[in-house]
Amino acid sequence: MDLARACASSPRRGRWRRTLRSVAALCTALLAGAALTGAVPAGADTAGADTPTYDETYRPQVHYSPAQNWMNDPNGLIFHQGEYHYFYQYNPSGNTWGNMSWGHATSTDLVHWKQQPVAIPHNDDEMVYSGSVVLDRSNSTGFGTAQSPPLVAVYTSHFKASGKQAQSLAYSRDGGLSWTRHAANPVLDIGSVNFRDPKVFWYAPTKSWLMVVALSDQHKVSFYSSRDLKSWTHLSDFGPQNAVGGLWECPDLFPLAVDGDPRKTKWVLVVNLNPGGIAGGSGAQYFTGTFNGTRFTSDDHGYTPPSGTVLADFEGGDYGGWSATGTAFGTAPATGALPDQQTVSGFLGRGLANSFLQHDSSTGTLTSPVFTVDKPYLNFLVGGGNHPHVDGAGDGSPPPGEVFADFEGPTWGQGWTATGDFTDAGPTTGNLSGQIGSRILDTCVKTCDPATGTITSPSFTITRKYIDFLIAGGNHPWGGDGATAVNLIVDGQVVKTATGNNSGTMDWTSWDVSTLAGKTAQLQVVDNATGGWGHLMVDHLVHSDQAAKPRDVQTTVNLLVDNRVVRTATGQNSEMLDWTSWNLKDLIGKSAQIQIVDAGNGDWGHVLADQFMTADAPATNGIQRAHWVDYGADFYAAVTYNDAPAGKRIMHAWMNNWNYGGNIPTSPWRSAASFPRELSLKTIDGKPQLVSQPVDALASLRRGKAAKLDNTTVRSRTQTVRGGGQVLEIHTVLRQLDAKRFGINVRTGKGQLTQIGYDTTTSELYIDRTASGNVTFDATFPGVHRAPLPLDHGQLKLRIIVDASSVEVYAGQGQVTLTDQIFPDPASTGLSVFANDGSAQVKTLTAWHLASTWKN
């Protein structure tokens, strides 16, 4: 198996998907070859030499973005000698993820930025992952002098040869412009491939350095102490707790005074996670609590679900009246993790149902006795794989019919043609879950994701009712930039299309072509994507009179009524069980059974379940219980500055999402930083809550006369506000009268709008970007993102920053924020207010045009 094939398949199968980022990074580095793995001199930027004009389509005007190339996590944020230093994950060689190095920008006001040379470049041995920078005032490291103390970067070394992650040092003696790696790196190595993103700060009470670092796949944060930044002592761990649906990354720990009173200081622990964020994909949660120099204790002291009647708790020596089939569950409950399984947590008592008995390869069911639904809710704990129930799923067998292409030969097949990177390629040996035979069509060739082109079948006549085929890979639908799609072409037009699901598991897709009988057609595999999951796998094309059934790989808990699944739940690719609740009000009096199903034999192909209880109130899960720094889809890797003036706590985040980050339609750069926000803690509803506002310097960008709309009632309509634009700051206070939904539309025109609204039926603030412009580059991008927020005596106070490709919303006292990217037509600059199904009042609305930070 060649290197490209190994890299294409290994991250996508088996139970090691939880190390996907590490494996993917290793593969990227190895595939890049010597041209990219060689050391990059400090200050080098190997991308094109053309200087951007900073007025390209979608270019942010008040958010920092690099002149060109890919960026992601903020790193090493520090205020030093009158300047804010913003380091960040950066690819010096292109606008997709890879060759991770530290980019660098500086600012005196957090608004106007100057891009500096690359600070810490990747080299032959390592990529430079996230971390932090401190001023070593006492020269504890010996890297500088007492008179001229050094800046020290503590970063994660991602070693290319092994994939191992460890913590290393680099130092600067010239204020952060040039950096030297410590000769004895790494300084903290626990032998893990998921140990990253150190945030380091000086902890005065113990006169020592404190490190907060993520044990990503364990959903834990570790705390370490050092006197010299070189030798570290483990203090304690925190977690898992609250949201654990993805890898924990980029932690941060800092104190804040509650309500401005330094006698009431709380510590705030920020933990970013991906996936599993509140809006899907990437997200940032926080905990408030205490820190004693050794251990962080959260104010969230565990969760107790509503009381109820226990149907099953799996505390006995067998399953009682439950019946098992297959080999997944054995004859008795497990007492925690099974052999070779990671630590299982979150279950109650001693026992639980755990289908990891023969690892992910085992399958089976566990079914309860019949019971009568007599309460409105069924609450239970579930964990394991995220593979939902699909009605009508089968065993993966191909439908009967004529196999048009199986790609088992050395070429695409007789009459097939290819363009681009696929011209001289052919089917590759695969080992994907669900594939048939030994070879597949896979566009992961040469450089893998960056490879682009088409593979087209010979013409054929449609004679059957269906065209069925297996598909996997990138979820980038046809019609958007960077598509990964299989298309059916008739008379030169695409009449049917399908894309992958960002997975290496192959599953059946079926096209009903009965209305096209007798037509001449071609199949075309298109790969225009160059970012994450920028490839597609296709196999076993069949002309059939039957629609292929999707393959049943569920790892679920189902409720059966009359032998039909009426409720279902699945895990979150986590060994931590969490509460799920089913509303059964419509089923009271019905006879039902609970069935735990493990039909998966691939990645995360197992399920965990415990403590089934009927109750009068619903249980809440970790995502619902978590405290979110931001409720939008594009606020990740959120961390704060060290040594900010006047003790302020200022936060930056990566304004993107790993779901689609590599495919957003921007060039020659990709990704931007969130606008910096100042944090504080305020007592709201009796509890300290993190609140944030844009830094004060935003006001310095206001230009011209502000547009205003005051004391205006809008009833079941939309009213235009004069003074719209691409880049705005909006302050408004809206009052509900009797409208079900009301709010503001920004970037309207050409059939596009981004709606910032309030839903009175759910008491939620939301951003709706389903019609915000270009939403087709990835199937997970369009959506509505919501945040719980009670009105303040019927009023909604909003502060909004609108940029060329983003919206940031600060609501109430700043306790709720939503950050979303948008990609509207540049001519869509309208602004309006709306009220649906009733009336709302615009008490005040002021909109300022903001000057470009690049040209001002």
Residues with a known catalytic role: 73
Whose CA is closest to 88, among 111, 68, 72, 100?
Answer: 72
Contact yes or no for 653/819 (Cβ under 8 A): yes
- CA 733 and chain centroid, separation: 32
Residue written as token pair 């950096």: 179
CA distance 341 to 556: 19
Interacting residues of 722 by C-beta distance below 8 A, sequence separation 6+: 707
Contact yes or no for 126/39 (Cβ under 8 A): no
CA angle 102, 107, 108 (to 5 degrees): 150
Exposure string of 148-173, with b = 16+ CB inside 10 Å and e = fewer, is ebbbbbbbbbbbbeebbbbbbbbbbb
Tokens read off for 47:
């991308």
Taking the CA atoms of residue 368, residue 370, residue 374 and residue 377 in that order, the dihedral angle to the nearest 10 degrees is 30
61, HSE (Cβ side, Cα atoms, 13 Å) = 22
DSSP 145-187: -SSSPPEEEEEEEEETTT--EEEEEEEESSSSSS-EE-TT--S
Peptide bond into 275 cis (omega under 30): yes
CA distance 168 to 737: 58
Contact yes or no for 372/605 (Cβ under 8 A): no
Show the 3-state SS of 256-303: EEECCEEEEEEEEEEEEEECCCCCCCCEEEEEEEEECCCCEEECCCCC
Beta-sheet strands, E only, within 319-442: 323-326, 353-354, 357-360, 364-367, 371-372, 377-384, 402-405, 417-418, 428-429, 439-442
